[in-house]
Amino acid sequence: MAKTNALRELFGGLPFAADLDWTLRSKNRPRRDHYNLARLQASLPAAVEAVKPFAKNAPRGKKVLFFATLHYWVEQSAYLGLVLAGMGHDVTLLTLPYSEWHKRKDKLTQRRRVLHTRDALAPLSPLVKHVSMLDLRPSTFDLPQKIQTDIKEVSLWDAQYTLMREEVDMNDPSERALYELRVQRNTFAAQAALEWMTKNKPDVVLIPNGLILEMGIVFRAARYLGIDAVTYEFNDQREQIWLAQNSSIMQQDTDYLVKARCHLPVTEEMFERVADLENARRGARVWGKSKRLWQYVSSQGAETTRNMLGLDSRPVVMLAANVLGDSLTLGRDIFAASMTEWITKTVQYFAKRTDVQLVIRVHPGEKLVPQAKSMGTVVKEALPELPRHIHVIGALDKINTYDLIEIADVGLAYTTTVGLETAMNGRPVISCGRTHYRGRGITIDPNSWDEYYAVLEKVLADIPAHQLNEKQIEFAWNYAYRFFFEYPRPFPWRLMNFWDDLAEYPLEKVLSEEGMARFKKTFDFLVCEPFTWDN
C-alpha cells in the first residue's frame, strides 16, 4: 500500500499527468470513491434549464461567495446557489473537494476529485460560477496574527471533533499528526480565501456550519476582511434551517431574537405548542417533521423514577451532560477548560456533599455516536468508587430525562436545552457553558470556579429561595417558543435528506410564486438581508 501511494503521489504531482489520465481513462469509469457527485452531475442540466427563466427576469442582487466542502455539502450548495442565481444574485461557488478532513490523500486521488467536481458542476456555468479552492495558488505570505490564532483554535476543535473527545494528546504521534494536518489545511484555506476575497470583493460569504474545518476558517477570513458572512446548519426537523449572520450558527447567538421577540406576550396557542413538543419528548415520541427520538423510554412518573434510582428525601441535583465532540459544544467553555473538567470537578465536589443527591444524566444522543467518550466514563475516572448518593444514568438506561426534571430541585447544565427546560419548570439552573439561554435572567451564571462553588453553596443552603418566580417562568416559556419555533426558518431541503426533499420541492416549485411566499425571506436572510418576522 505504501508503494502504491508513493506512485500515486508521484504521478499526481507530474504536470498534466493526472488531467490527461482523467480525460483518457478515468472520467467515464464508475466512481468507487466516497467523494461522488455523479447524481448531482446527472441532475444539473435540467435544473439549470428550470432556473434560467427566473434568473432572466430577476432584479440584480448581491455578489455572493458560497463556500462548500465535503460532497454532501457540495450537492446541496449547487442547488442553493441556483436558487440565489434565480433570484438575481451573482453567485460564485467555491468548492474544496475533500472527503476525509482527517486523512491525507495522495495527489492523484485529490486531483481526480478536483476534476470530477469541475465536470459535475460545469452545467452551472450560465448561472453560477465555479472555482475549486485547490486550483488556487495563493501567494506565500505571513497571515495576520489574528488569523494565525484562529487557525490554531479551529484546528484544535477539528481534532476534538474527529476524536470525539476534548483531550488531544500532543505527545501521541497520531493525535499530533491529526492536529498538524488540520493546521496545514486550514492555513492553506485561510491564504486562499483571503486572497480570493480581497481580489473579488464579494458582498456576502455564505458558509455551512462556520465553526469547524475549513468552513470555520473561511468564515473567520471573511469577518477579518469585514465582509458579511452568513452561516447555517440544520436541526432535527425537515423543512427548517438555522441561520446566523456574522457569527457561527453553532454558537447559537440568539440576542437578536430576544431583542426583537421576547418582549411580545405568549398566547395560549403558543404555550400549547411548546407544551406539545415537551409532551412528545416526555412520551418518547417523534414530533413534527422529525424522525429523531429525544428519549428512548417514555415517562414513567416521578415517583416510579425515584424508586428505580433509590432516591430518598434529600434534595436532588440533576447534572445534564452533552455529547462530547458535538460541534454544538466546541468553544463553549467559560470558567472550565472543558466540559470534562467541569463534570470531573463537579462530581468530586458532590462526593463530599452527602446532604444532597446528585443525578448525572448522560445524554441519550451518545447512543448515536458510540465512538465518543462517554460522560459516564468521565465520572468513573473522576470517582472510581461512586458514592451511594451519586447516580449515573447512562444513555441507554430506561430513565426518561423529563421525569428527572420533575424530580430535580436544582439543575446543572453546560449547553444542553435540558437547562432551559428545567428553568421552564421553575427550578433554579446553574449555567456553566456558553449556551444560548444563559444570561437571560432565568439561570444563575457563574464566571469563575470561585463563583461556581460559591453559587453551589448558596443555592444548596436555601433551595426554595432560588426557585424561579412567575415572571421568570413565563419568560422561560416565551424564550422556548421563540427558540424552538421562530429561530428555525422555513427551508426546502435539509442536508441529510437532500435528494428526497428535492423531489418534493424541485427548483421550479421553490422559485414559483407559491415557493417564494414560503421561502423568500429565508433566502433573503441567507444573503444577509435583515431578519424579519410575521407576527
The CATH number of residue 320's host domain is 3.40.50.2000
pLDDT surpasses 90 at 314: yes
The yes-or-no verdict on residue 23 having pLDDT over 80 is no
38 is a domain residue = yes
d(CA 369, CA 366): 5
When pLDDT is averaged across residues 221-234 and rounded to a whole number, the result is 98
Q: What are phi and psi of 69, to 5 degrees?
A: -135, 165
Determine which helix (DSSP H) or strand (DSSP E) holds 470, and give its type and residue range: helix 470-481
Task: Please state, in angstroms and rounded to a whole number, the distance separating the CA atoms of residues 157 and 151.
Answer: 10
pLDDT digits (tens, 9 = 90+) for 365-419: 777 777 778 888 999 999 999 999 999 999 888 999 999 999 999 999 999 999 9
Taking the alpha carbons of 407, 409, 414, 415 in that order, is the dihedral positive or negative? positive
Beta strands 357-361 and 429-431: pairing type? unpaired
SS3 207: strand
* Closest C-alpha to 133, from 213, 209, 246: 213
DSSP letters, 20-58, are HHIIIIITTSPP-SS---HHHHHHHHHHHHHHHHHHHHS
Whether 205 and 228 have beta carbons less than 8 Å apart is answered as yes
Regarding whether 503 and 477 lie in a shared domain, the answer is: no
- For the stretch 439-482, pLDDT in tens is 999 999 999 999 999 999 999 999 999 999 999 999 999 999 99
Residue 23 included in any domain: yes
Task: Give the orientation angle of helix 71-86 with respect to helix 107-121, to 10 degrees.
Answer: 30
Q: Same structural domain for residues 357 and 480?
A: yes
Note whether residue 450 is domain-resident. Answer: yes
Q: Which pLDDT score is estimated for 372?
A: 76
- For 150-166, write each residue's pLDDT tens digit: 999 999 999 999 998 88
- Residue 172 placed within a domain: no
Is this prediction's pTM over 0.85? yes
Using the predicted structure, report yes or no on whether residue 258 has a pLDDT greater than 80.
Answer: yes
Question: How many structural domains does the chain have?
Answer: 2
Q: Do both 367 and 389 map to the same domain?
A: yes
Position 325 confidence tier, pLDDT thresholds 50, 70, 90: low
| Average of per-residue pLDDT across 175-196 | 97
Beta bridge partners of 233: 242
Phi, psi (rounded to 5 degrees) for 176:
-65, -40
**Alpha-carbon gap, residue 211 to 215, rounded angstroms:** 6
239, 324, 362: which is closest to 290 by C-alpha? 239
Task: Look at residue 513 in the predicted model and tell me its pLDDT.
Answer: 96
Q: Is residue 158 part of a domain?
A: no
- Residue 468 is given by DSSP the state -
Same domain, yes or no: 40 and 94: yes
Cα–Cα dist 277/420, whole Å = 14
The C-alpha cell 441556483 sits at 82
Residue 4 has pLDDT above 70, yes or no: no
Q: Are residues 207 and 279 in the same domain?
A: no
* pLDDT of residue 2 exceeding 50: no
pLDDT at position 17 over 80: no
Terminal-to-terminal C-alpha distance of the chain: 62
Question: Order of strands across the sheet with 128-132?
Answer: 128-132, 90-96, 63-69, 204-208, 228-233, 240-245, 489-490
Strand-pairing partners, residue 69, are 96
Same domain, 204 and 310: no
Question: What pLDDT, on a 0 to 100 scale, did the predictor assign at position 50?
Answer: 97
pLDDT, the chain, mean: 93
* pLDDT tens per residue across span 328-337: 788 899 999 9
Check if the beta carbon of residue 341 is closer than 8 Å to that of residue 384. Answer: no
Contact criterion met (CB below 8 Å) for 435 and 332:
yes
pLDDT at residue number 105: 82
Cα–Cα distance, 130 to 501 (Å, whole number): 24
Contact 192, 151 (CB under 8 A): no
**Residues in the chain, total:** 535
Statement to judge: residues 441 and 507 lie in one domain: no
Q: Please write the tens of the pLDDT for every residue from 104-138.
A: 888 888 888 999 999 999 999 999 999 999 999 98
Range of the domain at 433: 267-486
Calpha distance 214→382 (Å, rounded): 35
Is residue 531 situated within a structural domain? no
pLDDT for the residue 11: 64
507: its cell numbers: 427548483
What's the mean pLDDT in 65-83?
Answer: 97
Confidence of residue 29 (pLDDT cuts 50, 70, 90): confident
Taking each continuous run of H as one helix and of E as one strand, the counts in the chain are: 20, 12
**HEC letters along 61-76:** CCEEEEEEECHHHHHH
Residue 66 CA to residue 77 CA, distance in Å, equals 8
Q: For residue 453, give the C-alpha cell.
A: 462553588
* Domain shared by 45 and 136, yes or no: yes
Phi, psi angle pair for 337, to nearest 5°: -70, -20
Domain contains 221: yes
pLDDT confidence of residue 1: 31
**Cell representation of residue 434:** 456558553
Residues 520 and 430 in one domain: no
d(CA 450, CA 458): 12
Query: Is 280 buried (19+), middle (13-18) or exposed (0-12) by CB count in 10 A?
Result: middle
Q: What is the DSSP letter of 324?
A: T
Using alpha carbons, list the distances in angstroms from residue 327 to 149, 160, 163, 322, 409: 19, 9, 12, 11, 30
Helices (H), 68-172: 71-86, 107-121, 145-163
Residues 397 and 502 in one domain: no
Residue 174 lies in a domain: no
Euclidean distance between CA atoms 263 and 423, whole angstroms: 18
Distance CA 96, CA 135 (A): 9
Residue-level pLDDT at 15: 67
Residues 331 and 425 in one domain: yes
How high is the pLDDT of residue 535? 58
**One domain, residues 40 and 121:** yes
